[in-house]
Chains A and B, each alone.
Chain A
Amino acid sequence: DSGVTQTPKHLITATGQRVTLRCSPRSGDLSVYWYQQSLDQGLQFLIQYYNGEERAKGNILERFSAQQFPDLHSELNLSSLELGDSALYFCASSVGWHTEAFFGQGTRLTVV
């Protein structure tokens, strides 16, 4: 157990809908990262927050947004969902933005 908690574990929703994925980082970690793993692609970095502020942005679609709250948990919002958004979404946390990151178990999103 890495100490990073992601909810829900599985999510099935219809195209056009909006979902929110939640991540609770390890105690003491200030940095949260979001990643997407699609069936036909490797791990893609989406976005990173450090102590509530956005620190890095990767290949995140405009339909997706994220935030990190004062208690340091983070949410990834995915809207106007398309079939191609079906993927495993990982959250990771670390103490700083250049230190060892620990991954959660992931949220499996299926868009039907």
Chain B
Amino acid sequence: ILNVEQSPQSLHVQEGDSTNFTCSFPSSNFYALHWYRWETAKSPEALFVMTLNGDEKKKGRISATLNTKEGYSYLYIKGSQPEDSATYLCAPLRGSGGYQKVTFGTGTKLQVIP
């Protein structure tokens, strides 16, 4: 993996369905991974910061896992609601020596149909 890739690019699910997305990133010089939720016409909202291999974070119905060795993170939404409709961005921080670079994925756009 040379770049940050998120899949799928877009997703339509019915209200109540559970869903998950993938963020793939170069595993070298990994420092941390941020997940953001971005609603149209609003600012990105931080969901999770993950740093350790095997990390699992949870906020309400949303959870995330991290595999730094193979370079991927999954975001799960349980029982999707219309208010979950947004673009979900991952942003790995890579670098060393106190100097990191943030690269955003292109996002997964989720539409939850009532």
Q: Give residues in A with beta carbon < 8 Å to B.
A: 2, 33, 42-45, 48, 55-58, 90, 92, 97-106
Picked from B31, B44, B48, B104, the residue with its CB within 8 Å of the CB of A98 is B31
Number of A-B contacts (CB under 8 A): 58
| Best-surrounded residue of B43, B49, B107 (most CB of chain A within 10 A) | B43
Contacts A42-B107, A98-B31, A98-B32 given; does A56 touch B44 at CB 8 Å: no
Task: Tell whether B29 is near chain A: CB-to-CB under 8 Å.
Answer: no
Q: Give residues in B with beta carbon < 8 Å to A.
A: 31-32, 34, 38, 43-46, 48-49, 51, 89, 91, 93, 95, 98-107
Contacts A43-B89, A98-B93 given; does A58 touch B46 at CB 8 Å: no
Complex CA distance for A98 and B30, rounded to whole angstroms = 11
Residues in B neighbouring A57, C-beta threshold 8 A: 101
Picked from B31, B46, B99, B100, the residue with its CB within 8 Å of the CB of A102 is B46
Q: Are the CB atoms of B43 and A98 closer together than 8 Å? A: no
Complex CA distance for A59 and B98, rounded to whole angstroms = 19
Complex CA distance for A109 and B99, rounded to whole angstroms = 29
Contacts A2-B43, A43-B89 given; does A58 touch B102 at CB 8 Å: yes
Q: Are the CB atoms of A104 and B43 closer together than 8 Å? A: yes
Residues in B neighbouring A103, C-beta threshold 8 A: 43-46
A-B residue pairs, 5 tightest by C-beta: A103-B43, A45-B102, A98-B32, A100-B46, A43-B104
Q: Are the CB atoms of A33 and B104 closer together than 8 Å? A: no
Q: Are the CB atoms of B34 and A101 closer together than 8 Å? A: yes
